[in-house]
Amino acid sequence: MSRLEVRDLHVAYGKVRALRGVSMSVDPRHIVSIVGANGAGKSTLLKSIMGLLPVGAGEIRFGDLRLDGASAPDVIRAGVAISPEGRRLFPDMDVEENLALGAYQRSRGEAARTLESVYEWFPVLAERRRQRAGSLSGGQQQMVAIGRALMSSPKLLLLDEPSLGLSPLIVRDIVRIIRRIQEKGISVVLVEQNARLALRMSDRAYVMQTGVITMSGTGAELLDDVEVQRAYLGA
């Protein structure tokens, strides 16, 4: 089982220092959430772990592997996958073609087997396998984005704003899916605007503010924290 460990991570976009010494970790089978306001650096952290942004300084370790400096394909092979903010589907491709993109590094046989298991997780996608992704509801599109990430059979799944723009009923489905992912033994990093939802399901959580972690604890501890309530829970 692999633990993710991020140590003193610095990432910049030109002169914009988006991450300024971020440290966090994710134990195997844990759900860990990152909460914070718009622009805090949450997506930057996930993209950096995924090998999608150059790391300025610091370390990212996953099990015995060093991921800082690794390419995105290397990170995927190490067992990490992302469902990105805004879902990033190809709207004119059908559901199955979008899912297949998540398995591009795997053999045909492995991809076919994983596709069947993704359809077991999301029966509604099996029914719509030939439907254009762009014609699906928001919740179904989110399922495709998560399903595509699962197609690489990750040990760690990074979820960036999975509930964004979805109705409360559909958000409940997404919560159930995230719990099932955890039950399968996959660790999850959850980035959510909906802090209450995220903290309720988290083993651990971090609060991020303009590129630094300002607080951490169990989900329950942060839910009980007066500062967190005032800033993020609308209390």
Ligand X SMILES: Nc1ncnc2c1ncn2[C@@H]1O[C@H](COP(=O)(O)OP(=O)(O)OP(=O)(O)O)[C@@H](O)[C@H]1O
Contact present, 149 and 81 (Cβ < 8 Å): yes
Query: What is the rounded CA–CA span in Å between residue 198 and residue 108?
Result: 36
**For residue 1, what are the CA distances in angstroms to 125, 149, 151?**
30, 19, 19
Smallest gap from residue 117 Cβ to ligand X (A): 30
The yes or no reply on residue 162 touching ligand X (CB under 6 A) is: no
Contact present, 51 and 71 (Cβ < 8 Å): yes
Query: What is the rounded CA–CA span in Å between residue 151 and residue 99?
Result: 7
Choose the binding region for ligand X from 35-43, 64-72, 90-98, 175-183 (rule: CB under 6 A).
35-43
| Degrees to nearest 5, angle at CA 169 with 185 and 82 | 40
The yes or no reply on residue 36 touching ligand X (CB under 6 A) is: yes
The yes or no reply on residue 41 touching ligand X (CB under 6 A) is: yes
Smallest gap from residue 44 Cβ to Mg ion (A): 8
The yes or no reply on residue 159 touching ligand X (CB under 6 A) is: no
The yes or no reply on residue 44 touching ligand X (CB under 6 A) is: yes
Smallest gap from residue 33 Cβ to ligand X (A): 13
Query: What is the rounded CA–CA span in Å between residue 122 and residue 187?
Result: 19
Is the Cβ of residue 100 or residue 166 nearer to ligand X in the bound state? Answer: 166
Applying CB under 5 A, the residues found at the interface with Mg ion are: 42-43, 85
Residue ranges binding ligand X (CB under 6 A):
13, 16, 18, 36, 38-44, 85
